Amino acid sequence: NAGVTQTPKFRILKIGQSMTLQCTQDMNHNYMYWYRQDPGMGLKLIYYSVGAGITDKGEVPNGYNVSRSTTEDFPLRLELAAPSQTSVYFCASRELAGSDTQYFGPGTRLTVL
């Protein structure tokens, strides 16, 4: 199992550009999450999904959108990138029942200039 994979690893955007951060998991997990990590601020939940076709907002959803058309994929869309979206983005997944452990991807470091 590859676990949770994220692409790209690094990206530099100009203000106003758009991009999609990709996240895929091969563990057949129902729950998937997107977090952003800013220095000294821990992880903040952006969006989450409890299964294909079902998504909901987390703590900091403004400026982002998500979709979940399959169990495996949970892309995060940034529209009109702003410098405040400069951060490291982590995708995570969790199985529906049993362990509450979240499994994290390696992250995408995004810089908006």
Partner 1 sequence: QQQVKQSPQSLIVQKGGISIINCAYENTAFDYFPWYQQFPGKGPALLIAIRPDVSEKKEGRFTISFNKSAKQFSLHIMDSQPGDSATYFCAASTGGFKTIFGAGTRLFVKA
Output the smallest distance, CB 31 to partner 1, in A: 7
Task: For residue 111, give the amino acid letter.
Answer: T
**Bridge partners, 65 (sequence order):** 77
Output the smallest distance, CB 73 to partner 1, in A: 17
Q: For residues 1 and 42, which CB has a smaller minimum distance to partner 1 in the complex? A: 42
Task: Please tell me the distance from the alpha carbon of residue 12 to that of residue 102, in angstroms, as a whole number.
Answer: 28
The three-class DSSP label of residue 8 is coil
CB 30 within 8 A of CB 51: yes
Instruction: Give residues in contact with partner 1 (CB under 8 A).
Output: 4, 31, 35, 40-45, 48, 58, 90, 92, 94, 99-102, 104-107
Q: For residues 56 and 79, which CB has a smaller minimum distance to partner 1 in the complex? A: 56
Task: Please tell me the distance from the alpha carbon of residue 74 to that of residue 76, in angstroms, as a whole number.
Answer: 7
User: What phi and psi, each to the nearest 5 degrees, are found at residue 29?
Assistant: -80, 140
Q: For residues 59 and 79, which CB has a smaller minimum distance to partner 1 in the complex? A: 59
Output the smallest distance, CB 52 to partner 1, in A: 17
Q: For residues 76 and 105, which CB has a smaller minimum distance to partner 1 in the complex? A: 105
